[in-house]
Amino acid sequence: MSNLRRLVKGRRERGAVAIILAMVMVMLLAAAALGMDIAKLAYERQAVRAAVDAAAQAGSYALPDAVAAVADAKAFALASAPDLNLNAASVQVQLFCAIAVKPGTNLPDETQVPGICNPGTAWTKGTGMAATGCNGVICVLPCGGAGAACNTIKVSYTKIVDFMFGPAINIPTGTTGALSSAACKGMCGSIAPNPLDVVVIADRTPSMADSELESNMQGAFVNMKQSLKNMLLTMNRDQQFVAFGTIAKSTPATCLTQEPSSGTFSGLAFNGVSTFVSTSQSKVPQTNKKWTFNGSWVPVGYSNNYTTGSPLDGTLAVNTASNLFKAIDCLEISDSTVSYPGASSGYKKTTNEGTHLAAAMKGAIQYLTNSNNLSGMPSRADYGTPKKVIIFETDGAPSELFQSHSDAMLLNNSYDIGYTGGADVGNGLKQSCDNLLAMATKAKDLGIKIITIGVGDVNTATCGSSNGSTIYVRDVLAKAASPKSNGVASDAYNCTVSGNTAKENGDGDSYFCAATSADLASIFAAATASITGNTKYIKVPGVSD
C-alpha cells in the first residue's frame, strides 16, 4: 500500500514538474522572442540615426539654397536606408542659422547677422528675440522667410517598428523615438579651421571717396576700412596668413598714405624709362611703352599677428599694434596723377591713376605664387595644405590709362596691364573687363580661389557691350569669381534694387555686393566665411540630440 502511494505521489510530482517546465519554456521562448524584437528595434534605431545623419550632411551641402537643401535631405534619408521603408512624408526638415555666441554670454552674437548667416524674417536682430538654442560656443536661430540665407539644416524621424513576436504578448510595436541630426555649412559661427594664404586687394581710387560726405561720415571708404578690421576677427591667426594690397598701388610703408614718388618721373605715378609727353600739343610714338606704376600692388606682406586673445574666453580683439591693422587704419584715398600719351591721339593727358583691375589682380597672383613671401612664417603642416585666396574689392569699372607692353598679360614680368585697343582709353572699355577676366582665369588655373566684392557704382557701371547687350561690371566680377577657370554665365543681381543685396550675398557663389556703404559692414566677414565649404555636425540643446 505504501509503495502504491509512493508511486502515485511520484507521478504527481513529475506531472507538476512538467507543467512548471512547460510554463518556464513558454516564458523563456517569450523572452527570447521579445529579445529578438528588442534587438530589431535597436538595429532600426541605429539605422534611422545613420539615415538622419547622412540626410543632414547631404542637405547642408546645398545650403543656402533652401529648396534644394530640403529636397536633398529628404531624398538622401530615403535612399540611404532603403530596407527601412521610411515614409517620405514623415521626414521632418527644418532650417536654422548658426552664429557665434557673444563673448562673455550665452547669447547670439548679432554682429554676425546677416554676414555669416541671414535668418530672414524668422528672426530679427536687435529685438531681443531668443535663439532656438545655444551651447556656449554656437547659437542657433530660426531661419526662413524673405531674405533668408540659412547655413544649418536639421533632419528628424520617428519610426514605428513592427515586432515579430511581440503581438503574442500584446506588444505589437515599438518606437525608435524622435531622432534628429543637424549639420552646418561654412563657418557656423566659429573661426574657419582651414589654413589659408590670403591676399586682400582693396580699392582706394578717388571714386571710393564719393560717399564719404554722407551726414554720418560713414561713406564707402570709411566702411570698407572698418569692414576689413571686422574681417580679421573672423580669421584664425594660427592657420591663416593675410597680406594686403590696394588699387591704386602704394609704397611699402606702415601707413599706405604715402604716394609713390620714386622713378624717372618724380612725383608722378609712373616709373621707368619710356616715351613721355612734355607739352599738351606734342605727339609721341605709340611704341615701347614699358610702363609700370610706382609702388607695389601688395605692399603689406603676410601677417599672422593681426589679432590677440581668444574667442573662447571673450578676449579676441584686433591687434592694433600689427602692421596690417596700421596699414588699414591709416589708409587714404590715392591722389596721384598721371601724364600719358592718349592711345589714338598721342596727345598728353593728365588724370588720376585710373582703376587698373587686371593689373591689381596680376600683382596679387604674383605675390601668392612667390614662395619666398612665406619665408619666416611658421609651418602649418599639421593643418594641411594651405588654400590660396584673393579677396578683391572695387566700386566701379576698370579704367586703364595706356596701351601696355605686349607681354603685360604674362605673369613673368612686372609690366602693368593697360588697354590694348585702338581708341583713347578711359572708363567703359570692353577690353579692360576682358583683361580682368583673362587674369582671373590665370589665377584659377593656378588653383587660386577668387572672391570679388562690388560696392556702390559697380552695380550699374558698364564696360561696353557684346552682341548688342550691355556688359555690366557686376557680371564681370561675378564671372571672375566663378569657381570654373573660364567663368560661367553670371546671374549677379543689381544690389541697388531693394531686396537684392541679401539675395546676391546668400546665393552661395563667390561674388558679394553692397548697394550702399552701410552694406559693407559685414560683407568682408561673409566673404571670408565663404572660403570654406566644409560641413560639420553640430549639437545644440533644443536642436539636435
Please indicate, yes or no, whether residues 437 and 317 belong to a single structural domain of this protein: yes
- According to the model, what pLDDT value does residue 495 have? 73
Q: Report the distance separating Cα 245 and Cα 256, nearest Å.
A: 9
User: Which segment of 9-13, 63-67, 172-176, 378-382 scores lowest on mean pLDDT?
Assistant: 9-13
Range of the domain at 16: 12-186
Please indicate, yes or no, whether residues 124 and 215 belong to a single structural domain of this protein: no
Ranges assigned E (strand) in 384-468: 387-394, 449-455, 462-466
- Share of the chain residues as helix, strand and coil, in percent rounded to the nearest 5: 35, 20, 45
- According to the model, what pLDDT value does residue 502 have? 63
Indicate the helix (H) or strand (E) that contains 161: strand 160-162
**Mean per-residue pLDDT, 38-50:** 79
Long-range contacts formed by 382-387: CB under 8 A, 24+ apart? 383/193, 383/194, 383/195, 383/239, 384/194, 384/195, 385/195, 386/195, 386/196, 386/197, 386/239, 386/241, 387/194, 387/195, 387/196, 387/197, 387/449, 387/531
Q: Report the distance separating Cα 129 and Cα 401, nearest Å.
A: 53
- According to the model, what pLDDT value does residue 373 have? 95
* Residue 483 in this model has a pLDDT that exceeds 60: yes
**Mean per-residue pLDDT, 311-323:** 82
Q: Which residue has the cell 571673450?
A: 314
**Mean per-residue pLDDT, 8-37:** 58
- Is residue 536 situated within a structural domain? no
Please indicate, yes or no, whether residues 104 and 169 belong to a single structural domain of this protein: yes
- According to the model, what pLDDT value does residue 277 have? 45
Q: Report the distance separating Cα 143 and Cα 120, nearest Å.
A: 6
How would residue 26 be classed by pLDDT, with cut points 50, 70 and 90?
A: low
Please indicate, yes or no, whether residues 398 and 503 belong to a single structural domain of this protein: yes
Which of 186, 217, 252 delimits the end of a domain? 186
Q: Report the DSSP beta bridge partners of residue 270.
A: 293
Please indicate, yes or no, whether residues 157 and 257 belong to a single structural domain of this protein: no
Give me 325's grid cell: 591693422
Express each pLDDT in 491-504 by its tens digit. 676 776 766 666 66
pTM of the predicted model over 0.75: no
* Segments in 466-540 forming alpha helices (H): 473-480, 500-505, 523-529
How would residue 306 be classed by pLDDT, with cut points 50, 70 and 90?
A: very high
How would residue 32 be classed by pLDDT, with cut points 50, 70 and 90?
A: low
**Mean per-residue pLDDT, 99-106:** 84
- Is residue 226 situated within a structural domain? yes
**Mean per-residue pLDDT, 224-233:** 83
**Mean per-residue pLDDT, 35-63:** 80
- According to the model, what pLDDT value does residue 391 have? 92
- According to the model, what pLDDT value does residue 33 have? 59
Q: Report the distance separating Cα 502 and Cα 393, nearest Å.
A: 18
φ, ψ (nearest 5 deg) of residue 141: -110, 150
Residue 471 sits in a domain whose CATH number is 3.40.50.410
Give SS3 for 445: helix
Does 492 sit behind a cis peptide bond, omega within 30 degrees of 0 on the bond before it?
no
**Mean per-residue pLDDT, 210-227:** 61
Express each pLDDT in 372-387 by its tens digit. 999 999 988 877 788 8
User: Which segment of 123-137, 416-430, 501-515 scores lowest on mean pLDDT?
Assistant: 416-430
Please indicate, yes or no, whether residues 286 and 156 belong to a single structural domain of this protein: no
- According to the model, what pLDDT value does residue 421 have? 56
Q: Report the DSSP beta bridge partners of residue 388.
A: 197
Please indicate, yes or no, whether residues 135 and 211 belong to a single structural domain of this protein: no
Express each pLDDT in 187-208 by its tens digit. 777 655 578 899 999 988 887 7
* Residue 461 in this model has a pLDDT that exceeds 70: yes
Express each pLDDT in 242-260 by its tens digit. 999 998 888 776 676 555 5
Q: Report the distance separating Cα 188 and Cα 485, nearest Å.
A: 28
Express each pLDDT in 110-147 by its tens digit. 888 877 788 989 998 888 888 998 888 889 999 998 87
Please indicate, yes or no, whether residues 218 and 174 belong to a single structural domain of this protein: no
* Segments in 241-392 forming alpha helices (H): 323-329, 357-368
* Residue 346 in this model has a pLDDT that exceeds 80: no
pLDDT > 90 fraction of the chain, expressed in percent and rounded: 19
Smallest CA-to-CA distance from 205 within 243, 245, 244, 246 is with: 246
Number of domains in the chain: 2
φ, ψ (nearest 5 deg) of residue 196: -140, 145
Most confident of 179-188, 520-529, 530-539: 179-188
Please indicate, yes or no, whether residues 207 and 296 belong to a single structural domain of this protein: yes
Q: Which residue has the cell 534611422?
A: 48
Please indicate, yes or no, whether residues 175 and 262 belong to a single structural domain of this protein: no
Q: Report the DSSP beta bridge partners of residue 341.
A: 348
- Is residue 343 situated within a structural domain? yes
* Residue 534 in this model has a pLDDT that exceeds 80: no
- According to the model, what pLDDT value does residue 161 have? 77
Does 64 sit behind a cis peptide bond, omega within 30 degrees of 0 on the bond before it?
yes
How would residue 437 be classed by pLDDT, with cut points 50, 70 and 90?
A: very high
**Mean per-residue pLDDT of the chain:** 77
Which of 186, 221, 249 delimits the end of a domain? 186
Whether residue 461 contacts residue 473, with contact meaning beta carbons closer than 8 Å, is answered with yes
Please indicate, yes or no, whether residues 254 and 119 belong to a single structural domain of this protein: no
Indicate the helix (H) or strand (E) that contains 31: helix 2-62
How would residue 75 be classed by pLDDT, with cut points 50, 70 and 90?
A: confident
Please indicate, yes or no, whether residues 112 and 259 belong to a single structural domain of this protein: no
- According to the model, what pLDDT value does residue 213 have? 41
Q: Report the distance separating Cα 222 and Cα 65, nearest Å.
A: 32
Dihedral of CA 18/22/28/31: which sign?
negative
Whether residue 120 contacts residue 143, with contact meaning beta carbons closer than 8 Å, is answered with yes
